[in-house]
Every structure is written in C-alpha cells, then in structure tokens.
C-alpha cells in the first residue's frame, strides 16, 4: 500500500498515500463536503473509518473513483 520514495529514508512515503479528510477529498473532487458524506453514507465512494467516526480517503482510491465518475457522466 505505502511505497517508500526512492532514495529517501525508509520512513518517507509518497504524499499521495497520506489519508485525506472529508474536506480535502471534497476539494480534490470539486464537490461539497456534504456530497462526500452522502456518497459515504450510500457506500458509493471508497473510504476508511479511523477511530470509529472519522472518515479518511486515499488519493489513489479517489483517482479511480473520479475516473469512473467522469465516465459515468460522459455516458449519461
């Protein structure tokens, strides 16, 4: 899952592997945080639960979600 950066110490990871908050994910996807919460509630977007209620997203998951979302919009 987390890939070390080449030539960096073993503890350094690619920035895209850092989990994003709902607010960050909304900004990245170009939607409101309320829309992201709705997608989470409907289980339409890949997400992680941290400490019970906190929701986080991996940028790599959001990239594939965004690509499928764009394809769906083009086919509509």
In whole angstroms, give the CA distance from residue 27 to residue 4: 26
pLDDT digits (tens, 9 = 90+) for 19-64: 999 999 999 999 999 999 999 999 999 999 998 889 999 999 999 9
In whole angstroms, give the CA distance from residue 50 to residue 23: 15
Tokens found for residue 27: 């900004």
pLDDT bin (cut points 50, 70, 90) of residue 70 is: confident
In whole angstroms, give the CA distance from residue 11 to residue 40: 31
What confidence score (pLDDT) does residue 69 get?
76
Q: What radius of gyration do the chain's Cα atoms show?
A: 14
Domain boundaries, the chain: 18-75
In CATH terms, 18-75 corresponds, of 1.20.1050.10, 1.10.1660.10, 1.10.1040.10, 3.40.50.300, to 1.10.1660.10
Tokens found for residue 5: 């950066």
Whether pLDDT at 1 is above 90 = no
**Cα torsion through 38, 44, 50, 56, rounded to 10:** -80
């Amino acid at each position: 899952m987390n890939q070390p950066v080449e030539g960096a110490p073993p503890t350094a990871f690619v920035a895209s592997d850092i989990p994003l908050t709902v607010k960050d994910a909304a900004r990245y996807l170009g939607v409101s945080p309320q829309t992201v919460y709705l997608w989470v509630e409907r289980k339409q977007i890949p997400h992680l639960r941290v400490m019970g209620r906190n929701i986080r997203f991996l940028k790599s998951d959001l990239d594939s979600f965004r690509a499928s979302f764009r394809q769906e919009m083009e086919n509509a």
